[in-house]
Structure 1
Amino acid sequence: MNEFVETIESSDMGIEVYFANGLRKIKPYYHSRTSFAKGRWLNRKLLEVLSSEFRSQSSEEYAKAIIRQEFQIIRENIALSAEETLQTTIQNKDLIKTTSHKHEPPVKQWNSEEISKKGSTIAGIEIIHECDEMLVLNKPSGVPIHPTGQYYQNTLVEILNTHGRSVLPSHRLDKVTSGVLILAKNSIMANKIQRNIREHRMQKVYLVRVDGQFPKVDTLGDSDATKITMFSKLFSNPSKFTTEKSAMFTVEMKKQFPAAFSVAREATTIFYPVKYFPDTNETLVACQPLTGRTHQIRIHLARLGHPISNDSFYNYKITKFPRRLSFILGVNDWNDGKHATADLEIHFDEFVRESEKVQLNSCSSSNKTCPECGGKLYSDPELRDLELYLHAWKYSDVEGEMSFETSLPAWAFNNDPYHENRSFTSRPNFSLPP
């Protein structure tokens, strides 16, 4: 196993980054954050507050954490001892300091070296455009944009910060999605881009690789001339359009019922077939989303019966969440009056059990724990789960002030490195689970 180790300095401490098995990993590190005590916490002991408002651990576990000084009260710039923190009540102007041993999940390694070349690459990532107001990148798949959940140092915003670029995300692009990523260098530009997106003044073209022979696709040869032709004529023939319009929603398992069910909203996507690959029975398709719903393209393709080939959630052949997938694809609007609250709650409980099973399976088979903090250690993700054949190819605004296009991803041609290694299951019935 080849590993390359480098040290990156963060604002807190040295962050050790290393690469192994195609993954970018970060050695576990201690991270502290401090915040003012909330008004409702005043005159209460910290242990009581933690036990009643943050129920991820028991009171006994929180007490042990206080003794280890993972939770401290800072009073008049002085950290109280563990015994004092356990016994005293929280006072006005107290600060609560939390120190945790962070185990960040690995992300997909995008380059052999994270080097920067002026006008060409930064941290080994292709620069599409850079000026005083924005930085536009060809985002690699498998890397989140900004700190979220367990990810902090292993995010593009923080990685760019270590390379001297302070940027603000201006639009959404999922961790597994690649392609055009516009990062603003100031809040004015970020707000402008976000406003253009809200007002549908940005035109976007995505490329996907889907299962099956997509409707109205031509069977073309593989000559260089054909490749140029098929991309230059995208959306030129309306008779080849496939338009999917339907309401959609998502189910966020980090939330409780019924807040986990997002509001269903109408969504429209236009699809245009580009190239059929008979060897793998897959099609390259261009997509124009006319609305901006979460997972819109993925859901619409799955409802059409042509899910993205390597989509480990919305592809019925390889999904790890068949019950939740069946519900999302079979129901356009969970709040249309056809589904009783009690039935929805039953479905949600099934989704919770399904997610817990997947989470349990992701734990290390040896059931190892961290020797420093006692936290569970998880197995490395499979590389195929960190890449999605969904690529943001073109972004432009209606005024013509911005127009960005990336190079084509490798999977846009007749090459699918994961195809032979897939394990297939039967397609579920899209009726509601019993």
Structure 2
Amino acid sequence: MSLVPSPPNERKYPPLKPDPPFQEPPPVVITPCDPWPPPYYLEDGLRKVTPYHYTYNTYCKQRWRGREILDIFASEFRDRPTEYYEQAIIEGRVVLNGKPVPSTKAIVKNGDVVSHTLHRHEPPSTAKPIGIVHEDDDIIVIDKPAGLPVHPAGRYNFNSIIEIMRADRGYGWNPLPCNRLDRLTSGIMFIGKHRQAAEDMSAQIRGRTVKKEYICRVVGDFPEGEVVCEKPILQISPKLGLNAVRADGKEAKTVFKKLAYYPPQDGVKQVDEAAKEGEEHMAWKQKRGYSIVRCFPVTGRTHQLRVHLQFLGHPISNDPIYANQRVFGPSLGRGSTDAENDETIMTRLSRMGKEDIADAVAYHDEMVDAYNKRKAEKMTGETCSICDTPLYSDPGVHELGIYLHARRYHCEEGKWDYETGLPEWALPPPGMEGPTESTKESDPLAVDLRKLGLEDSDQTEQDAANAYTGTDTDITSGQQLSAGAGA
């Protein structure tokens, strides 16, 4: 049988239509104004930023899937009221995948890009420069000032460690943080000069060979000896950045050791007259004076040191969240593991920085004068002439940070060891004697992890990487959760 060619098929078939029909991806929403150099100016000891327009672009987070777009903004971001976000959606300042949102009830799906353009008002930050502890061709070890977030987040963009360092060294320079600290926390941080250096240092920090030591100042006379707190920590509200000791939380372990105790200036541990009379809101004043405490985080949960110190009854004395009697009541949350009052606590905390000033214990500290007690960041009642954004007053100096400092990071293998001196608030007050250095001679932190049963903890790599890094969320400034779609 011979092979013969088949006649050509004259029938024409239409091209297949994709199901669903293919659509080109939406164009990326571009920020209408990206000022350079950053519009910084210094005033009254603060670094301020002239307001400017900005567009947030954020891919749909897992917890956003299947939710209405207005519900996402109203529940996740607290910088502005729900009415603002509703109007922004209607007027097209909030778009989904580069296109106007048809309704405030539009459902956000996996893969969607949410964009929000606004007139951005950044809070002031400290004008204190970023200290350099060590610098070589690969790494910069900095002493981060309190009051600055590491990355742009929430209401902060140019007022962040990354953007300030970029402004100092040039637009094309890309600082790569290897670890992170809370906005309110000061101390040691590592900045990679190039990607390989950042990856190498980050890998060390993720391992178990890097140890960290913090210094804090807490309410009252902290107990002697090594105090171990192993209470699990649960995130109560991601929106408010609130965490607490709860039985169903994640494992957390911290070792504390007192460095010094300084009684009140009158030299007597007396109870305030109002407390003697049983006035509940003054009960915390029964703890007079303060202690300087060294902290060794074995795990790294968000706000771990702050939450454990609060649980022990010795919160960081100017902590606007965990030492806030208007939120936690006269006991300041000591020994509390009960979730029954969580809703009440979150309601009270949400008012801080808006209707109320965050009344931390240290506002009554003898080292905070009457002027600073009155001066605090809160809504002024005025609005921006361009965007009607509610305006805040400048923060007081006591609001720019808390008494928590990452003093030392060191490699157990002896490859490197970086530390700072004691911060000013940890030095002896005028007229009193006490340690001016945290050294082996003045106060050895004789923490024997094997003896304490902590050496073989099942600490995860993420725990070690964080080792109390916390988040950049702070309630007193009304900041929202992330730098994503909200502002």
TM-score (normalised: structure 2): 0.59
The answer as to 2:383 corresponding to 1:369 is yes
The answer as to 2:167 corresponding to 1:142 is no
> Which residue, 203, 214, 237 being the options, matches 1:206?
214
Percent sequence identity is 32
**Number of equivalences:** 339
Q: 1:312–1:319: 8 Å Cα contact kept in structure 2?
A: no
- 3-state secondary structure, aligned to 1:163: helix
1:269-308 residue CA offsets vs partner (Å, 9 max, x unmatched): 2222222223452222222122212222222222333222
- C-alpha change, 1:352 and 1:210, in structure 2 (3 Å) is closer
Please list every run of 5 or more consecutive structure 2 residues that lacks an aligned counterpart in the other structure.
1-32, 62-66, 266-288, 358-376, 431-487
Distance of 2:87 and 2:311 partners within structure 1: 50
Q: 1:170–1:190: 8 Å Cα contact kept in structure 2?
A: yes
- 3-state secondary structure, aligned to 2:181: coil
1:22-49 residue CA offsets vs partner (Å, 9 max, x unmatched): 32211111113567999xxxxxxxxx98
How big is the shift at 1:256? 12
- C-alpha change, 1:58 and 1:144, in structure 2 (3 Å) is closer
Q: 2:74–2:85: 8 Å Cα contact kept in structure 1?
A: no
Distance of 1:212 and 1:49 partners within structure 2: 48
Distance of 2:380 and 2:240 partners within structure 1: 30
> Which residue, 281, 285, 308 being the options, matches 1:300?
308
Distance of 1:62 and 1:350 partners within structure 2: 25
Q: 1:250–1:262: 8 Å Cα contact kept in structure 2?
A: no
Q: 1:324–1:351: 8 Å Cα contact kept in structure 2?
A: no
Task: Return the structure number with greater relative CO, CA threshold 8 A, min gap 6.
Answer: 2
Report the counterpart of residue 241 of structure 1 in structure 2: 226
- 3-state secondary structure, aligned to 1:175: coil
Distance of 2:262 and 2:112 partners within structure 1: 64
**How big is the alpha-carbon RMSD for the aligned residues of Structure 1 and Structure 2?**
4.1
How big is the shift at 1:66? 6.9
Q: Which amino acid aligns with 1:244?
A: C
- The structure with the largest alpha-carbon Rg is 2
- 3-state secondary structure, aligned to 1:391: strand
How big is the shift at 1:215? 2.5
Q: 1:15–1:29: 8 Å Cα contact kept in structure 2?
A: no
Report the counterpart of residue 251 of structure 1 in structure 2: 236
Report the counterpart of residue 327 of structure 2 in structure 1: 321
> Which residue, 334, 344, 347 being the options, matches 1:353?
347
The answer as to 2:165 corresponding to 1:160 is yes
Report the counterpart of residue 320 of structure 2 in structure 1: 312
The answer as to 2:129 corresponding to 1:108 is no
How big is the shift at 1:173? 0.9
- 3-state secondary structure, aligned to 1:368: strand
Q: 1:72–1:85: 8 Å Cα contact kept in structure 2?
A: no
Q: 2:321–2:349: 8 Å Cα contact kept in structure 1?
A: no
- C-alpha change, 1:196 and 1:49, in structure 2 (3 Å) is same
1:95-141 residue CA offsets vs partner (Å, 9 max, x unmatched): 9764210011111221xxxxxxxxxxxxx322111122211111111
- 3-state secondary structure, aligned to 2:308: helix
Q: 1:146–1:156: 8 Å Cα contact kept in structure 2?
A: yes
How big is the shift at 1:70? 3.1
Q: Which amino acid aligns with 2:416?
A: M
1:317-339 residue CA offsets vs partner (Å, 9 max, x unmatched): x44421699668411xx7xxxxx
- C-alpha change, 1:329 and 1:379, in structure 2 (3 Å) is farther
Distance of 1:50 and 1:72 partners within structure 2: 10
- 3-state secondary structure, aligned to 1:142: coil
1:67-97 residue CA offsets vs partner (Å, 9 max, x unmatched): 866356998xxxx9x9x999xx9xxx99976
- After superposition, where does 1:222-237 map in structure 2 within 5 Å? none
Q: 1:200–1:291: 8 Å Cα contact kept in structure 2?
A: no
Distance of 1:73 and 1:299 partners within structure 2: 38
Distance of 2:344 and 2:325 partners within structure 1: 16
- C-alpha change, 1:55 and 1:299, in structure 2 (3 Å) is closer
How big is the shift at 1:159? 0.7
Distance of 2:227 and 2:418 partners within structure 1: 25
Q: Which amino acid aligns with 1:180?
A: I
Report the counterpart of residue 27 of structure 1 in structure 2: 50
Distance of 2:215 and 2:248 partners within structure 1: 27
Report the counterpart of residue 18 of structure 1 in structure 2: 41
Q: Which amino acid aligns with 2:165?
A: L
Q: 1:135–1:183: 8 Å Cα contact kept in structure 2?
A: yes
Q: 1:312–1:320: 8 Å Cα contact kept in structure 2?
A: no
Report the counterpart of residue 234 of structure 1 in structure 2: none
